[in-house]
């Protein structure tokens, strides 16, 4: 409901005259004037309300302060992403750094290897013990392949096959050779 600009009392609309009249101060105002004032007041109020709501929303969206550990993690993640995006630059930087500090880097590697030597030996031994069955099987396979290769070479010498010719030798099959392996 529109209010009087002078005394802020409620106005009454007079339809025949197309004017608003204040019941308290008895002044009349054009309908257009009052509606414009009312609209301006409404807009001002809405702007203030929107501004207030926006400030509240911004406060709610603000990220909470990160702990030092979380900050470090974020820094590491962003650095990792940068390295992935700029892989060529990183390679160039590392090559340059290596060339400039080659002696120092090699000395550090040597010291590291000496410090971790026992640990590495221990780990290798545990790995071998853990996979001993697999290691033995691979050893057997390697042995029988060597035996098969020797047998093949013997068979090729007997047939007079010369490896420098372009012809393929169809005189024997690998299956037949594998049977000869088990006869010996």
Of 23-32, 90-99, 167-176, the range with the lowest mean pLDDT is: 167-176
In a domain, 155, yes or no: yes
What confidence tier does 180 reach under pLDDT thresholds 50, 70, 90?
low
Nearest alpha-carbon partner for 2 in 25, 36, 50: 36
Same domain, 15 and 57: yes
29 DSSP 8-state letter: E
In a domain, 6, yes or no: no
In a domain, 66, yes or no: no
In a domain, 109, yes or no: yes
pLDDT at residue 33 in the model: 86
Extended strands (E) in the chain: 11-14, 19-22, 28-30
Same domain, 16 and 56: yes
pLDDT reading at 174 higher than 70: no
pLDDT reading at 8 higher than 70: yes
Instruction: Please say whether the beta carbons of 3 and 39 come within 8 A.
Output: no
Same domain, 56 and 32: yes
What confidence tier does 146 reach under pLDDT thresholds 50, 70, 90?
very high
Extended strands (E) in 95-137: none
How many Cβ atoms sit within 10 Å of the Cβ of residue 11? 22
In a domain, 4, yes or no: no
> What mean pLDDT comes out for the span 139-168?
79
In a domain, 112, yes or no: yes
In a domain, 38, yes or no: yes
Same domain, 138 and 158: yes
C-alpha distances (whole Å) from 57 to each of 14, 44, 46, 52, 154 are 44, 20, 16, 9, 87
> Into how many domains does the chain fold?
3
> What are the φ and ψ backbone dihedral angles of 20, each rounded to 5 degrees?
-105, 145
Same domain, 15 and 55: yes
Residues near 70 by Cβ (< 8 Å), separated by ≥ 6?
A: none
Tokens 């911004």 belong to: 58
Residues 53-91: tens digit of each pLDDT = 998 888 888 777 888 999 999 999 999 999 999 999 999
pLDDT at residue 164 in the model: 58
In a domain, 171, yes or no: no
pLDDT at residue 161 in the model: 63
Q: Which domain does 144 fall in, by range? A: 131-165
Tokens 């009312």 belong to: 38
Dist. CA 70–CA 74, nearest whole Å: 6
Same domain, 57 and 80: no
pLDDT at residue 167 in the model: 56
Residues near 31 by Cβ (< 8 Å), separated by ≥ 6?
A: 13, 18, 19, 20
122-158 b/e (C-beta count within 10 Å ≥ 16 → b): eeeeeeeeeeeeeeeeeeeeeeeeeeeeebbeebeee
Please state whether the predicted TM-score (pTM) of the whole model is above 0.85.
no
What confidence tier does 157 reach under pLDDT thresholds 50, 70, 90?
confident
Residues 36-60: tens digit of each pLDDT = 888 888 899 999 999 999 988 888 8
Same domain, 152 and 112: no
Same domain, 79 and 99: yes
């Amino acid at each position: 409901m529109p209010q009087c600009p002078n005394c802020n009392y409620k106005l009454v609309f007079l339809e025949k005259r197309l004017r608003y009249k204040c019941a308290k101060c008895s002044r009349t105002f054009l309908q257009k004037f009052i509606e414009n004032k009312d609209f301006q007041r409404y807009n001002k109020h809405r702007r203030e309300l929107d501004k207030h709501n926006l400030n509240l929303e911004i406060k709610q969206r603000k990220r909470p302060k990160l702990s030092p550990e979380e900050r470090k993690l974020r820094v590491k993640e962003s650095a990792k992403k940068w390295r992935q995006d700029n892989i060529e630059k990183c390679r160039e930087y590392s090559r340059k750094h290596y060339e400039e500090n080659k002696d120092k880097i090699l000395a550090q590697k040597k010291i590291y290897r000496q410090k971790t030597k026992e640990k590495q030996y221990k780990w290798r031994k545990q790995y071998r013990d853990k996979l001993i069955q697999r290691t033995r099987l691979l050893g057997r396979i390697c042995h029988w392949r060597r035996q098969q290769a020797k047998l093949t070479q013997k068979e090729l010498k007997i047939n007079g096959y010369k490896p420098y010719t372009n012809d393929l030798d169809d005189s024997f099959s690998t299956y037949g050779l594998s049977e000869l392996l088990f006869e010996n």
